[in-house]
């Protein structure tokens, strides 16, 4: 089974304000995006990030072969407990999910 990173053209994370993290998954074609969208579940993301499933939003943008995932950050961006102020290093657990 391949990892999510093997299917994407771009997989990145970033802040969506100080309270949320968002992930952009951009695929080479619609077929690959649909394949990933069917297999990338909230349960898998919740397990990878230790976040409640009901706090995860997954939005597919079929016109541009992409998926956006957003959920609350564990630590507010810039707080003393935060280790990634821009949220740009949070994509690794997502990239390793097998689909």
pTM as predicted: 0.93
Q: Which residue has the tokens 């100080």?
A: 18
Q: What is the pLDDT, as a whole number, of residue 32? A: 96
Average the pLDDT over 14-41 and give the result. 96
Cα–Cα dist 64/29, whole Å: 9
Do the Cβ atoms of 53 and 43 come closer than 8 Å?
A: yes
Spans of all domains in the chain:
4-95
- List strands edge to edge, sheet with 8-15: 8-15, 20-27, 66-72, 57-61
**What does the DSSP 8-state code read for residue 75?**
S
Q: Residue 1 — very low, low, confident or very high, per pLDDT cuts 50/70/90? A: confident
């Amino acid at each position: 089974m391949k990892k999510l990173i093997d299917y994407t053209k771009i997989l990145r994370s970033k802040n969506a304000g100080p309270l949320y993290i968002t992930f952009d998954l951009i695929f080479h074609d619609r077929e690959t995006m649909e394949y990933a969208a069917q297999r990338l579940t909230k349960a898998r993301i919740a397990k990878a990030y230790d976040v409640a499933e009901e706090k995860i939003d997954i939005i597919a943008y079929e016109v541009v072969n992409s998926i956006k995932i957003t959920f609350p950050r564990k630590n507010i961006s810039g707080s003393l407990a935060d280790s990634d102020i821009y949220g740009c290093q949070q994509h690794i657990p997502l990239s390793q999910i097998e689909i």
